Homo-oligomer: A and B are copies of this chain.
Amino acid sequence: MLMSKYDKIKTDISHISQLTKTLAKDDPRRIIHSIKVGFAITLVSLFYYFDPLYQGFGVNAMWAVLTAVVVFEFSVGATLGKGVNRALATIIGGMSGFGAHKLSTLSGNKIVEPFLLGLFVFITAVLMTFMRFFPKMKARFDYGLLVFILTFCLICVSGYRNEEVIDMAHRRISTILIGSSTAVIVCVVIYPVWAGTDLHNLVSTNILTLSLFFQGFGLEYFNTSSEINSDDEYKTSIDAIKNVLNSKNNIDTLLNYAKWEFRHGRFKYGHPWTQYQKIGELARHCACRAEALHGLLYSQVQASNEVKAKFREPCMKISAESGNALNELSIAIKKMNKPSKANPHLQNAKQAAENLNLMLNSNIWKNLNLSDVTPAATVANLLADVVSCTEDIAEAVQELASLAKFKDVKVSPKIEKAKLTNQGSTKRRCVANHVILIETSSPTSSPRVSVPRDPPSLAMAQQNAE
């Protein structure tokens, strides 16, 4: 009995230490963040320990500690947002509270006064609480509204007891400013975590996930021999796709924080953060297609091998080239380059979709049963839909590149040459060796390399610059 309990505690402890290691390994910034919080709080609590600092504020010094604890968040944007909200709301709330206090003393009646103050508190709480439901307020000033109610009530109510209201409001405001600014400064100065960078990386990673799925899907569906043994690897891939599908909330939150951040790293002031939201939505749209395709992979009704063989070439090309295009787009976002390298792949994918259409129009299907063909035809049709999704994503990334003035990447002369020699041939078949196709499918095999410049997005970029 005692032994089993001891064993249980032992496994519990090993489980927790395992989890701790995983958490720390997955994102080492978590450890740094924890240390930063400890540092900031210890720094603020110096106010209590040392007499010269303590004399100025007295018991009010605890507000500084409280503020530092509450305001310190993981990313700079979140901390700044909360800090600014808290500081501004305290100042405005404190002033309003003082005003309400003055107004109630005008009555000069010690019995009417508390009722008047109670009424002010009630009305303010009701109005501000309702304002928290406004979507725009909720997104940016939810915490501020809460602190406003708080400060207003505290000043208003304690004002009734303490005649030195101004002095109290002043102390409260300055301690909160000290707490907020300590939190913000520690957060920004020591290994800062920028929500904007996280948003940028998340969107890029989401597109990379899609890219990996489509690069692998063709092989998975049309490779009749080794369908089972790569199952595990595939499972991680669909889990990743699910993460992309569920990323909306994460992206929205990061966007919200990123808007609070000032210029940092490669991100200038006025970086078009909302464009990431748009790309994220298109990626989710594309992930839906991926999920539908994944469903067909394990569907009970499958096309015969004969039919699959016929579909293999164009479908694998569409899938792999869409994947390659997405891969290039992901790299372009990550490195902040113009996404010109994605275009050849996109052209190849479109070309393959056209070839597929031509093939469907030919008469090689005459002797086949339609029910045999349908599953593969469905995959083919969904893949064609994926090409248009990829095009949409490419367009949105292009727009981002224009808005954020991403770097131009020079197309090497070799590619330029290939471009010229390929200009004449509009329809080409690729080699059926899919392994090479996926791993190398180089831009040299593209019929046209063009860097489309979107006039409307350029106009928007200029507008933004103003």
Contact = CB atoms under 8 A, between A and B. Distances in A.
Interface in A45-78: 45-46, 48-50, 54, 59, 62, 65-66, 69-70
Nearest to A123: B38
Interface stretch (A154-162, A212-220, A343-351, A418-426): A154-162
B129 A33 contact: yes
Interface residues of A, number: 80
A373 to B, nearest CB: 7
A390 to B, nearest CB: 13
- Tell me how many chains of this kind the complex includes: 2
Interface string A99-137: 000000000000000100110011111110110011000
Contact of A371 (B39, B249, B299, B361): B361
Interface stretch (A189-197, A225-233, A334-342, A381-389): A381-389
A41 B120 CA distance: 11
Interface stretch (A145-153, A198-206, A407-415, A434-442): A145-153
A380 interface: yes
Interface string A280-298: 0000110011011001100
Q: Interface majority SS on A: helix, strand, loop or mixed? A: helix
A35 interface: yes
Nearest to A371: B360
A42 to B, nearest CB: 5
A365 B37 CA distance: 70
Given A38-B129, A122-B42, A288-B292, A375 B381 contact: yes
Nearest to A51: B161
A370 interface: yes
B65 A154 contact: yes
Nearest to A158: B62
A70 B384 contact: no
Contacts of A382: 292, 378
Nearest to A119: B42
A130 B296 contact: no
Given A130-B31, A245-B288, A370-B377, A301 B384 contact: yes
A114 B45 CA distance: 10
Contacts of A34: 125-127, 129-130
A392 to B, nearest CB: 11
Contacts of A371: 357, 360-361
Contact of A161 (B42, B48, B296, B369): B48
Contacts of A38: 121-126, 129
A288 B288 CA distance: 5
Given A38-B125, A289-B295, A296-B381, 14 more contacts: A38-B123, A41-B149, A42-B125, A49-B114, A62-B158, A70-B150, A245-B245, A288-B288, A289-B292, A292-B292, A296-B385, A301-B381, A374-B380, A378-B378
26 contacts: A23-B133, A23-B134, A34-B129, A34-B130, A37-B129, A38-B123, A41-B125, A41-B149, A42-B118, A42-B121, A48-B158, A48-B161, A49-B114, A50-B114, A54-B161, A69-B146, A70-B146, A245-B284, A246-B249, A289-B295, A292-B382, A296-B381, A360-B369, A361-B370, A366-B366, A374-B377
Top 8 A-B pairs ranked by shortest CB distance? A360-B371, A249-B249, A38-B126, A378-B381, A38-B125, A49-B114, A34-B130, A34-B129
Interface of A: 19-20, 23, 30-31, 33-35, 37-39, 41-42, 45-46, 48-50, 54, 59, 62, 65-66, 69-70, 114, 117-118, 121-127, 129-130, 133-134, 146, 149-150, 153-154, 157-158, 160-161, 245-246, 248-249, 284-285, 288-289, 291-292, 295-296, 299, 301, 357, 360-361, 365-366, 369-371, 373-375, 377-378, 380-382, 384-385
